[in-house]
Structure 1
Amino acid sequence: MSLSAGRTDGRWRLLVAEDMRASRLLLQALLQRAGHEVVAVEDGAQALSMLRAASFDAVVLDLHMPGMDGLDAAVAIRRGPGRDARVPLIALSAESPEEAGPRCRAAGFDAVLPKPCDARRLFALIAALRRGADAAIPHRPVGAPG
């Protein structure tokens, strides 16, 4: 059961995987200031471990991390058991939406955000996922301005 299932306050428990310390700390601070609980890790393998140990409402994965990258982590999550396989996945990528989008959809991501991450777009995406909006396969190119 997702942490948000019984919550009405709009706060989510989020898992962030980003290898760049400054980016990880920035994301964590932005999301915490917005009222979310955030667990931040350095790579995809740590994200998988955390996801298997605790319940999260969404996972934010950088695509390019040493060891297990975001794409490999997404595939592993989607192939996993139960609730973990259905958790919303958000990719962060410095690549163009045209380049990253198809690979991200194939890996099972629900959405792709370009880096550097725009806080307003990230918050809007989390709100859309929270409302149950179909952010999984947007009707415009992944990462296109909303």
Structure 2
Amino acid sequence: MIERVRAVLVTADETMLVIRRTKPGIPVYWVLPGGGVEESDESREAALHREVHEEIAGKADIVRLLHMVESDDERQLFYLARIATWSFEDRTGPEFSAEGSGEYALEEIPLTVEGLDGIDLKPEEIARVLRGAIGAGTLGAGVGV
């Protein structure tokens, strides 16, 4: 089974970092930073740190596992994390230079239900989880929301 890790990266301004994906012939959508767990990764958390570094040249402080989405062939683990600095210009991930992979654009959106409603965050299940957690105020202490 393929494992992927993704981060709900909360900034000091209580925004969330998301990546807008633009691919030919597909409606624009957004994803959370992250990617596949590799055999060389010591842990899922180590994989998440590596992915955040590759994708946004940032360093995340992982707060906790927030949610897991599983299908027959893939498991995605979504972590809640704080991030203070990042540089999309300094990203190093191999996907950014892959032929035909489309465009990647880093955006900050308000960490509110309205902010989430303004984007098509994939997978839809994590968008629902985040809306519910924001509405209920259960994202938890330690991230400030």
Structure with bigger helix share is: 1
Structure with bigger strand share is: 2
- Whether TM-score is above 0.5 comes out as no
**Greater Cα radius of gyration, structure 1 or 2:** 2
Q: TM-score, normalised by structure 2?
A: 0.28
Q: Higher relative contact order by CA 8 Å / sep ≥ 6: 1 or 2? A: 2
